[in-house]
Amino acid sequence: MEPRPQSVLFCCDHNAVRSPMAEGIMKKFYGADTYVQSVGVHNDMEIDGFSIAVCQELGVELSRHRSRSFDEMEEWGDDLSSFDLVVALSPASQRRALDLTRYFHLQVEYWPILDPTGLGETREDKLASYRQARDQIIKRFVDKWGEPAADT
């Protein structure tokens, strides 16, 4: 197990499904010890309703999440170089993160998390796909940083 970094940025394609889930779950699991944010390569979608639903099952509130892109993050004053770790949850976000961080001494990790969008025919099938992505994120957290705090 590794010590948790002081700041983590999660990124995916649209900041609407995987990266907001990772941000919300990390905050729930490990509290305020780590500064956690999320972004997307693009900001052309709002937070996904299925992501909200499967995180709500864990008591993680995502409905107030506002999607933002790497470019908007910098416009809003969050400097990429201020993060200790960037975790890319999609190939496109990994490429963008590596491109943006080539001038910084910054760790970029790629976690291949299932993209549940477009999977499943029925609502229950869709929820099962989103739960699978959520549970992959949780497994990564536990493997890397240990079980969540007891009060989660």
CA dihedral sign of residues 41, 17, 62, 151: negative
Q: Residue 148's CB: how many other CB atoms inside 10 A?
A: 17
β-bridge mates for residue 35, sequence order: 7
> Model confidence over 58-114: pLDDT tens digits?
999 999 888 899 888 888 777 788 899 999 999 999 999 888 878 777 789 999 999
For the entire predicted model, the pTM comes to 0.92
**In this structure, is the dihedral angle defined by the CA atoms of residues 117, 134, 9 and 103, taken in order, positive or negative?**
negative
The answer to whether the CB of 13 falls within 8 A of the CB of 117 is: no
Please tell me whether residue 38 adopts helix, strand or coil conformation: strand
Q: Quick one: which H or E segment has residue 49? A: helix 49-56
Residue 152 has pLDDT above 70, yes or no: no
- CA-to-CA distance for 23 and 82, rounded, in angstroms? 17
Percent of the chain with pLDDT over 90: 62
- For residues 34-50, give the mean pLDDT: 88
What is the pLDDT, as a whole number, of residue 151?
57
- Residue type (1 letter), 127: L
Range 7-145 has CATH code 3.40.50.2300 = yes
Residue 22 near residue 87, CB atoms below 8 Å: yes
Between CA 105 and CA 47, with CA 13 as vertex, the angle to 5 degrees is 120
